[in-house]
Each structure stands twice: as C-alpha cells, then as structure tokens.
Structure 1
Amino acid sequence: MTTTIPLSITVDGEQRDLDVDPRTTLLDALRERLAVTTPKKGCDHGQCGACTVLVDGRRVLSCLTLAVAKDGADVVTANGLAPDGGSHPVTEAFLANDAFQCGYCTPGQVCSAVGAIDEARRGMPSAATADLAGDDVVLDRAEIAERMSGNLCRCAAYVNIVTAVEEAASR
C-alpha cells in the first residue's frame, strides 16, 4: 500500500499542488508530475549537476532532494529565472560566450551560476576563497571554477562557462 502526501510548492512563480509518494525526489516531481522538464536527469546520484534548481534562492540538486521536504518552498528552474519572458543575464552571458554545446547540462549550469554569483555577493566563501576572514569574495576565474565544479559538461565547454559566469557576475 502506497501512501501519498500532499505537497504545495511554487514552481517558476506558479503555485502547484500535488500528492506524491514520500520517496519521490523533487526532480521526479517536477519532471514527471508537473511536466517541468528544464531540470535534467543526468546521473540521478547528485554527481553531475544537470538537475540543479534554486530552492528558496539556494542551489539544490533536485535528484537528491525529497519533494516532501520542500513543501511550501519556492522552486526556480532555468525557465523561471526571467519570469517576464526575457532572458536572465546569466543566460545571455552563456549565449554570448558560447558556453554550451549540446545544451543538456545548460539549465543546471545556469541555475548553479545564478546561485554561485549570489553566494559570492553574500560573502559566502568557497574552497578557493583567498581571504576566509574577509567579507569580500572576488569572483575570479579560480573562484568561479571552484563554485561551478559540481556541474559537469560532457562537451567540456568549461572555459566558456567560466567566462560566461565571470561576465554575468560583472554586470
């Protein structure tokens, strides 16, 4: 006997209500139950970052997150970053810098970049942050590469991805 649990989340600005099996991941709830296919199922083990979304403003691997744990949360996918129908500055930077090839990892890369830029602006250090005691995090290429290291690209567009994040962060 499978028991379902009611869940209410906001996805890309739209309130969504559904009943899910308590074992359902946020990724599967988005893709299979809500037809939000922007986050991709890459490895389904939290190793590739293709499923990265923003939950309450923080980057999350949706394949490792139980949907029921995010009841009441605000989930933003790459499609929801610019709700007015335009393009988000990170998306524009990815396009301008040819920071994708096949495009499969791009939605997760873009969400991760948005989260990484926000973390740096809030002074959150990473393993590459030079001054851990300071309040300022400089998003240089090493810092960006470290912060984006959880997002893999099979096409190896890393140089252009770092350039795109660097450009977007400077705006």
Structure 2
Amino acid sequence: MTQVQDYIRTIVDFPKPGIMFRDVTTLFSNPRGFRMAIDQLLHPYAGERIDVVVGLEARGFILGGAVAHQLGTGFVPVRKKGKLPGTVISEAYTLEYGEAVVEVHDDAIAPGQNVLIVDDLLATGGTAEAGIKLVERLGGQIAGCAFVVDLPDLGGRKRLKALDIDVHALCSFEGD
C-alpha cells in the first residue's frame, strides 16, 4: 500500500554536503499523494473546533491552505520578516547559522480562537515554536501542529512537546 513518504523525493547533499533533503514538491505534484497528505494532516482534527489554520512560510502555505479549505476555516500565513504589508508582530528564532524573524498581521487571530499550525517539515522546531509564540501573543489557543515530515534526530518534536503542544506528523526520516 502506498504511503505519503513514498511520494517524497530525497536529494542527497542539498543544500550542502551531508544533508539528505526531503523534497515534498514531488508529493504536491501527484494528485493522489497530495490528496492523501491533506486528508491525513486534517484527520486528527476533524470534529474538533478549529477556527483558523496557520501556515508557516513557504510550503506550509500550500498545505495549510488546503487543510483550511477542507476544514471550512480561515487561513493565516506566518511570513518571513518584511513580506507582509500593514501592522505585524514579529518573533525571532535561532537557525543553525544565525537568526531569522517571522511575522503575522496583528489582527490575524482573535483571542480565544483555536489554531492549527501546518508546515511541511519538522526539524529543530524553531520555526514552529516562533509561529506558536506569535499565535499565543495574539491570544490564540494552539490545537496542534501538523507536519508531513518529522526529522526526529533534530529534536523538533521533543521541543514542541516540552511546550505541551500536540504534534502530528505523517512520516519520519532518520538523520538530517
């Protein structure tokens, strides 16, 4: 039986030597695989009150938009610094070689809304944690975080679990 991970291509030594890049664009381009991924991402949250889906830049926009559509909710993008017009709030987080900042509109989430965060991949959990902090600063309640791929060796799941966040991933790959 075909699984989501069967549609994900691995590119060796990208973006640098020693990295096994998990390319979800092959999953997105396959109608059966894409449908399977969206259905499996939203399944644990069907029947729960989800008011809005937050997608993390950039592949989280593709997945999050489709999940929001299926759940009949709104969609909110969390973007890299400087990409959103209007008034935003920002959250810095640490990367392997420095720091990055993500932003969301300051009126994107109403206090008390239940929020599902969606992205393609969970690695160290830095981007997801920054997204969680933005949602919480706006008064949103995190219903969970859903990912296509978990890279458990990089510790992201443990990081989010330490924040008492429900983590759902469709597949995992060992190593980087």
TM-score by length of 1: 0.29
Of structures 1 and 2, the one scoring higher in RCO (CA 8 A, sep 6+) is: 1
TM-score normalised by length of structure 2? 0.28
Higher strand share: 2
